[in-house]
Chains A and B, each alone.
Chain A
């Protein structure tokens, strides 16, 4: 069964996640949480992987930094990918590690031609080390920066073309960035190259305490908002089905509640699958 809609894996939900049977259900983890030598974490992941497809979604490779990806980190990621055989491996268009410090966040940068060359080199190094293609996720942005030479869709499209990497479209990030920087989320999503898109993320956001709705924050701490569901449905109608993840990292509700959101995404995908099958038949 091909992966359809999945959930970010929460260890506190292990028993339910492990036991749940749903067509195409899959789980995603941050590999950085599993870069250990042994113990219960890895045993849990092993058991989960025995029942469901797995995705590795890295947060710490810092591919947009003006430095090569840390070879030790790459090696640890390769070991995990070889052991757990994920159906997809992804990272972010962002930097985090710099100057010997790791900043636990996904940080922005001016999208210049030089930056594109650097990120492309880093993506290639990563794909070579892993022996596979990776997906790159679009970031959430909180303020404009000077110095961009390329638009974000332009940058991601060029990156994909140069390196053969795919794109992970986080629809909530598009919504948040569009709100914060004043561009059209719809136009952004319409411009993404369909063939490059390998996965979709959906998550919740919140308004900044001080600045209100002018500054939305990608909190992963709430259900997916209705406007994001609409953008998602529109994207799927255009590009077709893609493995879709519901991300929830804060204020985590019961597993059943997460599955309800997951099931909603699965329904969108099923609807699209049926529609496109009819089109093929009718053609």
Chain B
């Protein structure tokens, strides 16, 4: 009597495990031929995931090289496979992963660079939406201005980095800069990344500008945001910072 065949679900469990490097598949004829076939599926599967991660962390790869990046990708996949067939936004937790990936320990700026690659990806695929024009604010009564809540554009992403990752990231974005060494002052830096129009834009922010923008992101009033900015830098030229952020396209129109 034939042993009962596994049902489809059992087959898939066994195949998927074998695919991801676990217990080899059995019970389908010559093991060598089976393994030759599994290798093809395995190569394609890993390549698909790797290509998606490379596409989404291109600046990281540029800094560490393809070999190092590939090794990190395999370690990352070991912890978790893609869960969404749309690989456009695959690798959300790769920046966090780099934070405790041993070979990255001496590259203190790397998780920050990865976070910015992530922010770029999210900005790139975010909803289209109109942008707040400066002239619109000029039409508001001064007393009412500080009570306004400015909403961030749906594509906007803010990041504060404890390293000069923003400068390093900017220097390694296309168009490809000249290879070579650059002296970078070691300091904390903030960034805003958004896609207010057709292309993703990027801006480095001083602490006051960052805290002002972040307060707006949290839904605070413009008055509270100004206080947050002044707390970071008491002498900050906040009206200029605000004008820059509006000119950058960081905000949605007033509701």
Contacts and interface: CB of A to CB of B under 8 A. Distances in A.
B16 A103 contact: yes
A40 B83 contact: no
B54 to A, nearest CB: 13
A36 B83 contact: no
B49 interface: yes
B36 A142 contact: yes
B82 A102 contact: yes
Interface of B is mostly: helix
B85 A101 contact: no
A230 interface: no
A60 interface: yes
A107 B25 CA distance: 13
Interface stretch (B67-75, B121-129, B221-229): B121-129
B66 interface: no
Contacts of B11: 109-110, 147
A102 B29 contact: no
Contacts of B19: 103, 107
Point out which of B20, B38, B45 has the most chain A C-beta atoms below 10 A from its C-beta: B45
Given A40-B124, A103-B19, A110-B5, A217 B48 contact: no
Interface residues of A, number: 52
B8 A114 contact: yes
Given A114-B7, A208-B36, A104 B127 contact: no
Interface of A: 32-33, 35-41, 43, 59-62, 65-67, 70, 73, 76, 95-105, 107-110, 112, 114-115, 118, 141-147, 180, 208, 210-211, 215, 217
Given A32-B88, A39-B195, A102-B82, 15 more contacts: A35-B86, A36-B86, A38-B125, A60-B85, A66-B12, A98-B12, A100-B83, A102-B87, A107-B15, A109-B8, A115-B8, A118-B8, A143-B38, A180-B37, A208-B40
18 contacts: A32-B85, A62-B85, A66-B8, A70-B85, A96-B85, A103-B16, A107-B16, A109-B11, A114-B8, A143-B28, A143-B37, A144-B29, A147-B11, A180-B37, A208-B40, A210-B36, A211-B36, A217-B40
